[in-house]
Amino acid sequence: RFSIFVDDFQNKSGAILIFDSETNEIVGFSTVVVQHFYLNGKDYTVLFSGDTVILKKFWGTRSLQSTMLKLMIKLRIKYPFNELYWLLISKGYKTYLLLANNYYVYYPNIKDENQHLSEVVEHYCEKFFGEYYDREAGLLNFGDDYQPLKGEVAPITAEMREK
């Protein structure tokens, strides 16, 4: 499984490192790649974040979001006329909530809002993840055993299922 991570990382632009502000030790990271495509007369720049690992003690801090925002600002300056998006793969509900709790506009959206983004997402997935993209389901399917999120990382409780 580590070889999957290494192979994937070689296709990334780099990684965002998260540091403990007191000890300056690395406590997490998120791999990233900047990608470009053209669709319907517009140029797009996408910051795609891949594998993200953060020590449990640092879950809930805003370090990742603030660093990601700084990178997005740099990309906006570098590509001022491109549509700019942050895309990520959600293996669990906590990743999805990162979008829902921090952004006004995101897709897919549980309220079925922002459908205008569906074409952008579909084009992106077909271009960069073609063989894994299930257009009907709107999902990337890498197979049942492809680096699944461990159940204890983000368990879904009975109470959560009732909501």
pLDDT at 130: 87
Range of lowest pLDDT (69-73, 96-100, 122-126, 132-136): 96-100
At 4, the amino acid letter reads I
Q: Give the chain's domains with CATH numbers.
A: 2-162 (3.40.630)
In terms of Cα–Cα distance, which of 85, 72, 77, 75 is closest to 114? 85
pLDDT one-digit tens code per residue, 67-102: 888 999 999 999 999 999 998 877 777 778 877 887
Confirm if 89 and 50 have CB atoms less than 8 A apart. Answer: yes
**Predicted model pTM:** 0.78
pLDDT one-digit tens code per residue, 28-43: 998 899 999 999 999 9
pLDDT at 148 over 60: no
Over residues 129-158, mean pLDDT:
72
Range of lowest pLDDT (4-13, 19-28, 76-85, 116-125): 4-13
Taking the C-alpha atoms of residue 112 and residue 133, their distance in angstroms, rounded to an integer, is 20
The H helix count followed by the E strand count for the chain is 5, 6
